[in-house]
Amino acid sequence: MTIDLLAAATATFDPDAATRAYLATLQGAARARSDAYFEGGYWIALWDGLVAALAYWLMLHLGWSAKWSAWASRVTRRPALQAGLYAIPFSVVGALLLLPWGAYTGYFREHQYSMSNQTFPAWLGELAIGAGVNLVFMFVLFAIVFAVIRKAPRTWWLWATGTIVALMVFLVMLSPLFVEPLFNKYTPMKDGPVKAEILRIAHEQEIPTNDVYVVDASRQTKRISANVAGLGPTIRIALNDNLLNRSNLAGIKSVMGHEMGHYKLHHVWKLIGYFSLIALLAAALLKWGAPPLLARYGDRWKVKSVSDPAVAPLFGLLIALYLIPADIAFNSVIRHHESEADAFGLEAAREPDGFAMTAMQLSEYRKIEPGKWEEILFYDHPSGRTRVQMAMDWKAKHLKELPVDQQRAFVMTADQPAK
């Protein structure tokens, strides 16, 4: 369906008027639902941290953590294996305690706002797979981190940070090969004009790839999406089938140009750098925050020291509370990267209306016009209004360079698959 409200091409293109015309396509109940869904997420981010903190407090208060540590000590005398074994009940019970809240946020609320395509058994199955992956990761993490704490009692927080960052890099590198395929099927895109255009843009940007992957995300969600995953030889640029089925060629090109921007601008490595700083501050909090709490409550919890794996729920509680403000700060970092990728994608794909159309599709579940501080505090991507305005400003600047059919003041094409 093509809507052409201001049909004639004009040398006096008004980017503000064009932006308002795009925003006007999301009105009434659809806009109210989008605003309510996204605004509810502000509180969910807070409650995520509080619910996790409560779960960790229960593990300490009820004595479970001390019992798990004692059990691991009976099974083996090797301290590294003791920490790894402790991670098993810690992870399993933690997942069960968080299950009701996770079911509400990840399943029932998604269906309430018509965002999910999954049945509850399918959702629960994927949750179990994720819990299994997490269990393996936590076994390795606990074995290494608590070995570091024992070997370097004064500087363990520095070495633990390095360990966590190294494991994260390893996981990011292997995720496209071993983790993501557990949840979705990635298939090479069939030859055709869409693939040809994506590869043309990629080669113009000197991105060494001859493949484009499509992920069957419609099994789970109605969201449109694309991503850059992996590091080095495992980097993969993919788009989901919702994007392929709902967007035209211009929209797909704009999204893929954006994703190529993440690759060219080295955002994955930059985010790892920012994560390293957040991890370092978290480790410092544990180094200086945990011992006073153990001195006061350790006997009650039957937790001896920070080298005892039973201290893990205390670590988890402190980190859960720390991440509430840290996530707000990290949102601004990610939003800056997303804005950079937006600008790159506009230059690479040269499809401002395709970009604006996609921004409007994303606004079906992201509040489109937040207040200034609302966007700063809660958005990890630029708002729909910000993105449409950027696209229309770019279009005004480059209007004479665009083909005649792109020079119209307002064009929106939606729900037309690019076959």
* 419 domain-assigned: no
Per-residue confidence (pLDDT) for residue 76, from 0 to 100: 95
CATH number, position 206: 3.30.2010.10
Q: Assess whether 16 and 140 both reside in one domain.
A: yes
What is the rounded distance in angstroms from the CA atom of residue 20 to the CA atom of residue 8? 17
* 98 domain-assigned: yes
Q: Assess whether 38 and 116 both reside in one domain.
A: yes
Tell me the one-letter amino acid at 369: E
Per-residue confidence (pLDDT) for residue 232, from 0 to 100: 77
Domain count, the chain: 2
Q: Assess whether 72 and 211 both reside in one domain.
A: no
Per-residue confidence (pLDDT) for residue 2, from 0 to 100: 43
Per-residue confidence (pLDDT) for residue 104, from 0 to 100: 97
Final residue of a domain: which of 227, 262, 297? 262
pLDDT, tens digit (0-9, with 9 covering 90-100), for 136-195? 999 999 999 999 999 999 999 999 999 999 999 998 888 988 999 999 999 999 999 999
Per-residue confidence (pLDDT) for residue 412, from 0 to 100: 64
Final residue of a domain: which of 262, 279, 312? 262
Low-confidence ranges of the chain (pLDDT < 50): 1-10
The angle formed by the CA atoms of residues 54, 60 and 66, to the nearest 5 degrees, is 150
Q: 213-215 and 186-188: which strand pairing?
A: antiparallel
Q: Assess whether 80 and 177 both reside in one domain.
A: yes
Q: Assess whether 349 and 229 both reside in one domain.
A: no
Per-residue confidence (pLDDT) for residue 17, from 0 to 100: 94
pTM to 2 decimal places: 0.89
Per-residue confidence (pLDDT) for residue 71, from 0 to 100: 97
Per-residue confidence (pLDDT) for residue 415, from 0 to 100: 56
* 242 domain-assigned: yes
Per-residue confidence (pLDDT) for residue 387, from 0 to 100: 97
Question: 213 pairs with which residues across the strands?
Answer: 188, 238
Q: 236-240 and 226-229: which strand pairing?
A: antiparallel
Final residue of a domain: which of 220, 236, 262? 262
Per the structure, the complete domain to which residue 131 belongs is given by 2-185+263-413
Question: What would the DSSP string read from start to end of 288-320?
Answer: HHHHHHHHHHHHHHT---TTSGGGHHHHHHHHH
What is the rounded distance in angstroms from the CA atom of residue 214 to the CA atom of residue 418? 13
Per-residue confidence (pLDDT) for residue 29, from 0 to 100: 95
* 418 domain-assigned: no
